[in-house]
Chains A and B, each alone.
Chain A
Amino acid sequence: MKTLRILGALCTFAVTGGLYAQTADNIDHAKAAQEFEKFRAEMEDSNPAELNELKGEELWKAKRGPKNVSLAESCDLGLGIGKIEGAYVQMPRYFKDADAVMDAERRIVWCMVEKQGFKFEDIAKKPFQSPNDSGAPDITNLVMYIAGHSRGKPFAVDLKDPKVREVYEIGKEIAHYRAGPYDFACSTCHGTDGKRIRMQDLPNINTKEGATKAVMGWPAWRMTGGVALTMQWRMNDCFRQQRFPEPKYASDTITALLTYLTANANGVVYKGPGIKR
């Protein structure tokens, strides 16, 4: 039933998305963007990402990989093996077994490699969905599922843990580090309240309000291209816009930025996977 409703929503997306593309060529971008935002908000209660969550659930529970074990019976996201309620909003966190601070996606990858025996290179080869792919990568579906089980829970990155605190401070430095041909840092585009590029709002990631906009609704079903994407992707694509080279997938740099962003939104209630334009 639910699947049908979501498929219906997908068709509406296809049609309205086309309409939007058409209007966007006309002069009145501003109005089109407003309409689009209204539409986006309305569609959020039948988010196609729910299909990704369902797939993620199957993947989490299935025995997989060379070691033929399930993540449900082997993976500890910080609250104990197989415990997922509220795990997403408490990451990034420090994991003793890996001796590293990890964000949710990186931790799931770590479990797939260490517990199930998958090769990191195979997962990192194509970690993000592109518009022409038939579906999202397994890792994206898994992140969607885990994120869905933090719906209604407040972000709670543990800055009292000195290891997390240190990564947070490093993330803050990275967010302000200007380099490259255009002298851009994250904070060039995301360092002041109420700014935008063209019609796109740019949250100020250094404030609680802005950081909330930055992390809320991710992982997301993205209307542009109709793809499911995670925060790892968002960081990757912003580094592209920053004219930097490409950050390595699931690297310390990305964890540091995600620690900074998420902890700045600490206390705010997470609404689960969302829809982004």
Chain B
Amino acid sequence: MNRKIVFATLVALPCLTTLLPAQADENYRAKAIAMIQKDFKPRGQADLDRLAEDGVQAICNRTGNHPPEALAKTLEADQMASVKWPADGKLMGDWKKGESLAQSGRGFTWSDKPGLPVGGNCYNCHQISPKEVAYGTIGPSLLHFGKLRGNTPEMQKYVYTKIYNAKIYNLCSEMPRFGRVEALKPEQIKDLVALLLDPESPVNK
């Protein structure tokens, strides 16, 4: 089932992208891509393959991050189909581990040592625990998240999948696909779910 969907997307994407309304000026866009292709060199763990758009990126780039709704729905469903779940089936881990993971902004740059654990980067963009005042504002505030949204199995599943792959709910979300690109392992995502939803977490105090 999964494989079929992935395959269908791979085949369909090139066709779809040619049919899309061209928001970006195609001429300049083509020239920009050609320029990027020749002007970079690999460094550390950052190889040149990072310059190529994958399907989701191509569509978001092509439509100014506003893909046609039907297409977005299909691709969002694809992203959902590729989620990997924790081995023990539980979606809540340890909020304390989640908090230190949320603090770390390390990972994936050419100056990061490959193989070292990648940080969650959460505070770069979100307010989370009331104790941390040095938070970014690119994403919405998550203060009191569990208190406001509850801690039901559905909510746990939503938070797990949102962190695993934010594009499931909003194809051109600015948030990275942490699970999909294997920045974060299912165990780590569980700890982040706990940070947001556990009644004992400072987020909900």
Partner-B contacts on A (CB < 8 A): 27-30, 33, 166, 169-170, 172-174, 176-185, 188-189, 192, 194-199, 202, 240-241, 243-248, 251-254, 256
B163-174 interface code vs A (CB 8 A; 1 in, 0 out) = 000010000001
Residues of chain A contacted by B111 (CB below 8 angstroms): 240
CA A199 – CA B38 in complex, angstroms? 35
Residue among B29, B36, B38 with max Cβ neighbours from chain A (10 Å): B36
B40 touches A188 (CB 8 A): no
Which of B143-151, B175-183, B197-205 lies at the interface? Answer: B175-183
How many A-B pairs have beta carbons closer than 8 Å: the answer is 133
Sorted nearest first, the 4 A-B pairs with minimum C-beta distance are A29-B134, A173-B32, A182-B176, A253-B39
A170 touches B47 (CB 8 A): no
A244 touches B33 (CB 8 A): no
Is B42 among interface residues, defined by CB-CB distance under 8 A? yes
What is the interface of chain A mostly: helix, strand, loop, or mixed? mixed
A245 touches B46 (CB 8 A): yes
Partner-A contacts on B (CB < 8 A): 24-25, 28-29, 31-33, 35-36, 38-43, 46-48, 50-53, 56-57, 60-61, 64, 105, 108-111, 123-125, 131-138, 167, 174, 176-177, 181, 183
Q: Known interface pairs A181-B183, A183-B176. Does A243 touch B109 (Cβ–Cβ under 8 Å)?
A: yes
Shortest CB–CB separation between residue A36 and chain B, in angstroms? 12
Residues of chain B contacted by A199 (CB below 8 angstroms): 134
A30 touches B61 (CB 8 A): no
A243 touches B137 (CB 8 A): no
CA A252 – CA B136 in complex, angstroms? 32
Shortest CB–CB separation between residue B75 and chain A, in angstroms? 13
B133 touches A30 (CB 8 A): yes
Q: Known interface pairs A243-B50, A245-B50. Does A177 touch B39 (Cβ–Cβ under 8 Å)?
A: no
Cross-chain contact of B36 among A177, A194, A195, A202 (Cβ < 8 A): A177
Q: Known interface pairs A29-B134, A174-B32. Does A246 touch B41 (Cβ–Cβ under 8 Å)?
A: yes
Identity of the chain A residue whose Cβ is nearest the Cβ of B23 in the assembled complex: A176
Residues of chain B contacted by A240 (CB below 8 angstroms): 46, 109-111
A252 touches B39 (CB 8 A): yes
B125 touches A169 (CB 8 A): no
Shortest CB–CB separation between residue B115 and chain A, in angstroms? 15
A248 touches B28 (CB 8 A): no
A178 touches B53 (CB 8 A): yes
CA A166 – CA B51 in complex, angstroms? 22
B48 touches A245 (CB 8 A): yes
Can you pick out 9 interface pairs between chain A and chain B where the beta carbons lie within 8 Å of each other? A173-B28, A174-B32, A180-B108, A182-B176, A182-B181, A183-B174, A196-B137, A245-B41, A253-B35
Residues of chain A contacted by B176 (CB below 8 angstroms): 181-184
Cross-chain contact of B35 among A30, A185, A192, A252 (Cβ < 8 A): A252
Cross-chain contact of B40 among A29, A30, A244 (Cβ < 8 A): A244
Residues of chain B contacted by A27 (CB below 8 angstroms): 131-133
